[in-house]
Amino acid sequence: METAVIRPFALLMLTLAPAPATQKSSPEITAIEVKSWSYWSSRLGHPYAWRFRIIKGGLATYTGRFGDRKGVYVTKFRPEHFRRLAAYARKIEFSELQGLYRRQATDSATIETTVEYGDEHHIVVNYADAGPEELWILQMTARALADWVRTPVQGTPNFENDRGLHAPSIASETKAVEILRVWAKPTQECGMTFDVNWEDPRPWGGVLVDVIRHVSHRYSRSGQDAFQVADEIRESFEQAWSSTIEAQRSPPGEDQDR
């Protein structure tokens, strides 16, 4: 009953929402993701309660952790649906919104919205609906679309142990391949699998720099300076390099007495 009311209301608000006085040009939007979590979902060890993701072309996925739609579901919308949603994100100048909106509350839900522009992205965290009305409309419209995603993905009926991240938008390209996957424990111990996709090893340097750039941007959402974060990561990297890589260059037995 609630869904039947939310869906047309959100789509109506998307149609009627006023445009800003000025609009800035922005790169093409390639994917939009909205996910929600709360104190209780975090207590249960889940990174989010539900997640909706739609990419250019209309392919959409929904991952639910609770309720009657627990698991992973997929559907294919008409490209027009994604085009309209992306057009509204540009209309409200989503890339100019601040990274975090919050108010004094204790148990309200947090909605995190990510808009991807190719390899770049902008993330907005909205706690207790503290953000502007236009952001709320975008989130509710995405949630209304998510309610249409009903085809279960074969082989993942529950996905209760899914703690992984979503694939970036580049994964939808025919020639793109996964080259690195990393999992970490709370103790910071990491395990990884990878594939040497290039004969020349030097492009891996660019991959590591991209990781630092994206991670620094993510930390900046909580008010930290992105450049300072990057410097701290670089310092940690150099220390790890000295203690690990340089140690491997030592002849066998050379450091046994240290």
258 within domain boundaries: no
Task: Give mean pLDDT, residues 69-92.
Answer: 90
255 within domain boundaries: no
Q: Tell me how far apart the alpha carbons of residues 4 and 244 are, in angstroms, rounded to a whole number.
A: 58
Average pLDDT, the chain: 78
Q: What is the pLDDT of residue 136?
A: 94
Residues 155 and 212 in one domain: no
Q: What is the pLDDT of residue 91?
A: 93
Alpha carbon 108 to its chain centroid, in Å, reads 21
Q: Would you say residue 242 has pLDDT above 60?
A: yes
Of 5-9, 128-132, 166-170, 178-182, minimum mean pLDDT range: 5-9
Q: Cα 38–43–48 angle (5° rounding)?
A: 45
User: Going along the chain, which residue ranges are E strands?
Assistant: 31-37, 50-55, 59-64, 71-76, 100-101, 110-117, 120-127, 151-152, 180-184, 190-194
pLDDT 10s digits, 228-237: 988 999 998 8
Residues 190 and 152 in one domain: no
Coil, helix or strand at residue 248: helix
Task: Give mean pLDDT, residues 42-60.
Answer: 80
Alpha carbon 61 to its chain centroid, in Å, reads 13
DSSP state of 56: T
Q: What is the pLDDT of residue 16?
A: 47
DSSP3 helix / strand / coil % (the chain, rounded to 5): 40, 20, 40
Model-wide pTM > 0.75:
no
Task: Give mean pLDDT, residues 240-245.
Answer: 79
22 within domain boundaries: yes
* Partners of 100 in beta bridges: 125
Those residues with Cβ within 8 angstroms of residue 107's Cβ, 6 or more apart along the chain or in another chain: 38, 39, 40
Residues 152 and 230 in one domain: no
Q: Residue 203's domain spans which residues?
A: 177-250
Domain CATH number, residue 32: 3.30.1560
Q: Tell me how far apart the alpha carbons of residues 153 and 69 are, in angstroms, rounded to a whole number.
A: 12
Q: Length of the chain in residues, anyone? A: 258
* Partners of 127 in beta bridges: 110
pLDDT 10s digits, 131-161: 999 999 999 999 999 998 988 875 544 444 4
Report which listed range, 84-88, 160-164, 193-197, 244-248, is most confident: 84-88
Residues 117 and 6 in one domain: yes
Coil, helix or strand at residue 94: helix
Q: Tell me how far apart the alpha carbons of residues 154 and 218 are, in angstroms, rounded to a whole number.
A: 33
250 burial (CB, 10 Å; 0-12 / 13-18 / 19+) is exposed
Are 15 and 141 in contact, with CB atoms under 8 Å apart? Answer: no
Confidence tier at 2 by pLDDT (50, 70, 90)? very low
Residues 92 and 186 in one domain: no
Q: What is the pLDDT of residue 53?
A: 93
Domain CATH number, residue 195: 3.30.2370
Residues 199 and 142 in one domain: no
242 within domain boundaries: yes
Q: What is the pLDDT of residue 241?
A: 83
256 within domain boundaries: no
Considering only the C-alpha atoms of the chain, give the largest distance between any 2 of them, rounded to a whole number of Å: 74
Q: What is the pLDDT of residue 249?
A: 67
Residues 68 and 135 in one domain: yes
* Number of structural domains the chain divides into: 2
Confidence tier at 250 by pLDDT (50, 70, 90)? low
